[in-house]
């Protein structure tokens, strides 16, 4: 935990002097799997879109879960993030509008090949930044669902992003993973993307009846303060069921606790970026 505090303190200092870009590129990342990263990417994209923002979701995970969760069959797509990133196919050719109102850049198994092909290209770490500079101006938000590992794809996302949103469960091992991720972010800041900020720490699968959950949550707030989102994402059956129907939870059951939580998170992010009080 102490390592994480030292790293995040440096990032906090950078956040105070940062400026909000016209298009906000947010990498949703955590090197630990199973923390609600893809769930957050899909449902936050839907909530921001339904709040009136123009949103692009990039599925950068070869598993393609964000694609399936958005209602797009990853096995049936003709072009994907791979074609946009590696072969410079235009974004409008690859992206498709989803039912919730956001645009999706679908991902799938061919992203594994992208990792290999990018290694032979010049400016391989900056490929996504360069592509977004050309294609993303029409969007208010670009969310990138990163793989649960540190590879060339994740590195591309962190260099292209203005900020990182970190979903995490309130458990002991999550704190260890947080330390490693924050060190990675600080390494990217020092070498390739000095303006990279922490968008916030998001507590997911939150169960207030669990004493460990409450204890870890208190530690996060104590040490990271306002970098912890006030919104928490609860354990919710409807939230877990929605991906099997290819829908964000707000379209599957808009009255569920999961849907209400992600709409609250979208509002919190919009207020933070506009400078309005929560």
Q: How far is the C-alpha of 151 from the C-alpha of 169, rounded, in Å? A: 23
- Give the model's pLDDT for residue 141: 98
- Give the model's pLDDT for residue 1: 52
- Give the model's pLDDT for residue 2: 54
Q: How far is the C-alpha of 9 from the C-alpha of 15, rounded, in Å? A: 10
Q: How far is the C-alpha of 110 from the C-alpha of 77, rounded, in Å? A: 11
| 232, 207 Cβ separation under 8 angstroms | no
- Give the model's pLDDT for residue 20: 58
The full set of domains in the chain, from first to last, is 2-18+28-274 (3.40.50.300)
Residues with Cβ within 8 Å of 177's Cβ and at least 6 positions away in sequence, in order, are: 30, 31, 32, 168
For residue 77, count other CB atoms closer than 10 A to its CB: 20
pLDDT along the chain (278 residues), means of 10: 50 48 92 90 98 97 96 93 94 96 94 85 90 93 94 95 94 78 93 95 92 88 92 95 96 97 97 72
- Give the model's pLDDT for residue 65: 96
Q: How far is the C-alpha of 105 from the C-alpha of 126, rounded, in Å? A: 18
Give the containing element (helix H, strand E) for 198: strand 197-206
Backbone angles phi, psi at 267, to 5 degrees: -65, -40
| 111, 61 Cβ separation under 8 angstroms | yes
The pTM score is 0.91
For residue 55, count other CB atoms closer than 10 A to its CB: 25
């Amino acid at each position: 935990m102490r390592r994480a505090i030292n790293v995040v303190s440096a990032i906090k200092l950078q956040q105070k002097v940062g400026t909000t870009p016209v298009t906000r590129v947010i990498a949703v990342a955590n090197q630990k799997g199973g923390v609600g990263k893809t769930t957050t990417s899909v449902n936050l994209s839907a909530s921001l879109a339904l709040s009136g923002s123009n949103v692009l979701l990039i599925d950068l995970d070869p598993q393609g879960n964000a694609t399936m969760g958005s209602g797009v069959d990853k096995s049936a797509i003709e072009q994907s993030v791979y074609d946009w990133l590696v072969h410079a196919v235009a974004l409008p050719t690859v992206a498709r509008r989803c039912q919730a109102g956001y645009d999706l850049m679908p991902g799938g198994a061919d992203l594994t090949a992208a990792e290999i092909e990018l290694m032979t290209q010049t400016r391989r770490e900056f490929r996504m930044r360069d592509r977004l500079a050309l294609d993303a101006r029409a969007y208010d938000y670009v969310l990138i669902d990163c793989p649960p590992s540190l590879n060339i794809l994740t590195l591309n996302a962190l260099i292209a992003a203005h900020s990182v949103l970190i979903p995490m469960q309130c458990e002991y091992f999550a704190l260890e993973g947080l330390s490693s991720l924050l060190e990675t972010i600080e390494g990217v800041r020092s070498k390739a993307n000095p303006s990279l900020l922490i968008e916030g720490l998001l507590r997911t699968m939150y169960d207030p009846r669990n004493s460990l959950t409450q204890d870890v949550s208190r530690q996060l707030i104590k040490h990271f303060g306002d970098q912890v989102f006030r919104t928490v994402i609860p354990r919710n059956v409807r939230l877990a069921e929605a991906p099997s129907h290819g829908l964000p939870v707000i379209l599957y059951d808009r009255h569920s606790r999961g849907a209400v939580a992600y709409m609250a998170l979208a509002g919190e992010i919009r207020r933070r970026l506009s400078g309005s009080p929560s």
